[in-house]
Amino acid sequence: MKDCISIGLLGLGTVGSGVVKIVEDHQDRLAHQIGCSVQVKKILVKDLEKERSISIQKDLLTTDAYEILDDAEVDVVVEVMGGIEDARKYILHALRNKKHVVTANKDLMALYGTELLRVANENKCDLFYEASVAGGIPIIRSLVDGLAADRVTKLMGIVNGTTNFILTKMSNEGKAYEDVLKEAQELGFAEADPTSDVEGLDAARKMTILAKLGFSMDVELEDVQVRGISSVSSEDIDFAKYFGYTMKLIGYAKRNDNRIEVSVGPTLIAHNHPLASVSNEFNAVYVYGEAVGETMFYGPGAGSLPTATAIVSDLVAVMKNMRLGVNGTSAVLPQYPKEIKEDHEIYFKSFFRFTVKDQLGSFAEITSIFTESDISFEKIIQVPLKHKGLAEIILVTHHASYSAYKKVLENLETSDVVDEVRSYYRIAGEDLDV
């Protein structure tokens, strides 16, 4: 066994700087856990002259990835540079050079996880990615190890810190969407291109990874129905509150027998559901297992040190495997063939907001549109907007199928009495038995 493990770091941004800090600050603890010291040998960056948030020896930095990937002394490559094509190329090169890899890259793992894990296995290398979902929360390890004996039937997650931060500040402090997004970018939570945060893609990538592990099926990004938060208005948030709900960007994955649904979208959660109180950049993943029942994993989902903690824990796992000589053996292939539910098999409650002509018969017409699709109302209010000759209707339905909602939305859009469908959201967390 070596007396020092060498790490090659690809990236020294928000997460990479945290990794350097934790490795430096926790030398004693690491040495105690793995029986030797750990050093960061080389770090890939784009710009050698850039001012760094941590003090770092200049000669550790390089702009040539192959100085790390082809260095025989580097044992583990930590990929925290982000992006897809270069990161994939570098990780494949590292694995083929028999280097273990730890990554925080959910974009990559959601798209190429199967390929990368296969190559890791062929080369007897570890490929760990705990930081890729819900930052510092050990959710991947919990699904892979902690709940290994159970059959997971439902996962509900707040898995994007940026959007949770935005919705929390809009809801609690009445701040404007654009201002809070800027704040989240300044705090280092947002992706380089924050469109993937606000349009739900980042959360969809994470749900792909979670659903794949939770349901043991080869779930792919294209299986996830995605909607972001960019069109959520403060009026939607206020009406949702009035009805007893909190607006969250929720990743939802459910299995009935072996048929699954996976989606991401702005969703109303009852105020008393544990996910409703998850605020700011915090993440939480609710997991329902047939034997264990309800569990919830909560913690910081983004940010430098929390995310770096997950990376360094993966490093410890790699190093323990090195000591035991069992690297590259822990990834398990999916057990079941994937079956995606059709729209008529997906059931949930919904929230609608639309304006109608304030005239005799409007309400009867609305009622008949919903009745034709077998959807009944649980709560409904009508607010007159007298100056425009319009009224606004806000309602919550009982459970109905996704195909029925699609039909209702189409009929509302084309109805003569409807002026505008302002918003439509799924309600989740009240359907444990559906």
- Please select the residue that binds ligand NDP; options are 5, 7, 9, 12, rule is CB under 6 A: 12
Yes or no: say if 308 and 23 are a contact pair by the CB < 8 Å rule: no
Q: Which is nearer to Na ion, 104 or 412 (CB)?
A: 104
Q: Which does 130 bind (CB under 5 to 8 A by kind): Na ion, ligand NDP, ligand LTNE7NMQ, none?
A: Na ion
Which of 41, 99, 106, 206 is catalytic? The answer is: 206
Give min distance, CB of 118 to ligand NDP, in A.
Answer: 21
Indicate the residue among 6 and 313 with the shorter CB distance to Na ion.
Answer: 313
Q: Decide: 12 and 61 in contact? Cβ < 8 Å.
A: yes
Q: Which stretch binds ligand NDP (CB under 6 A): 8-16, 232-240, 263-271, 373-381?
A: 8-16
Residue 267 has which token pair? 């969703």
CB 4, min distance to Na ion, A:
27
Instruction: Kindly state whether residue 157 participates in binding ligand LTNE7NMQ, applying the rule CB under 6 A.
Output: no
User: Residue 155 — φ and ψ, nearest 5°?
Assistant: -130, 130
Q: Does 189 bind ligand NDP (CB under 6 A)?
A: yes
CA distances from 194 to 186, 200, 228, 230 (A): 12, 10, 11, 11
Tell me 304's DSSP state: H
**Measured from the CB atom, is 305 or 346 closer to ligand NDP?**
305
* Residue whose CB is less far from ligand LTNE7NMQ, 162 or 373: 162
Choices 41-49, 284-292, 385-393, 406-414; region in contact with ligand NDP by CB under 6 A: 41-49
Contact between 162 and ligand LTNE7NMQ (CB under 6 A)? yes
- The tokens for 343 are 């729209």
CA distance 73 to 94: 12
Angstrom distance (rounded) from CA 98 to CA 120: 8
Q: Which two tokens stand for residue 122?
A: 């062929």
Active site residue 46: no
Contact positions vs Na ion (CB under 5 A): 130, 134, 137, 310
Residue 75 contacts residue 99 (beta carbons within 8 Å): yes
Q: Which is nearer to ligand LTNE7NMQ, 171 or 350 (CB)?
A: 171
Instruction: For CA atoms 15, 20, 22, 25, give the dihedral sign.
Output: negative
Give the residue carrying structure tokens 């050990």: 138
Closer residue to ligand LTNE7NMQ, CB minimum distance, 82 or 328: 82
* Neighbouring C-beta atoms of residue 156, cutoff 10 Å: 25
199 lines the binding site for ligand LTNE7NMQ (CB under 6 A): no
Report the half-sphere exposure of 408 (CA within 13 A, side-chain side). 28
3-state secondary structure 135-169: CCCCHHHHHHHHCCCCCEEEEEEECCHHHHHHHHH
Place of tokens 């990929």: 79
Binding-site partner at residue 160 among ligand NDP, ligand LTNE7NMQ, Na ion, none, CB < 5 to 8 Å by type: ligand LTNE7NMQ
Can you tell me which of 8, 113, 135, 157 binds ligand NDP, judged by CB under 6 A?
A: 135
Contacts to ligand LTNE7NMQ by CB under 6 A: 135, 160-162, 189-191, 197, 202, 301-302
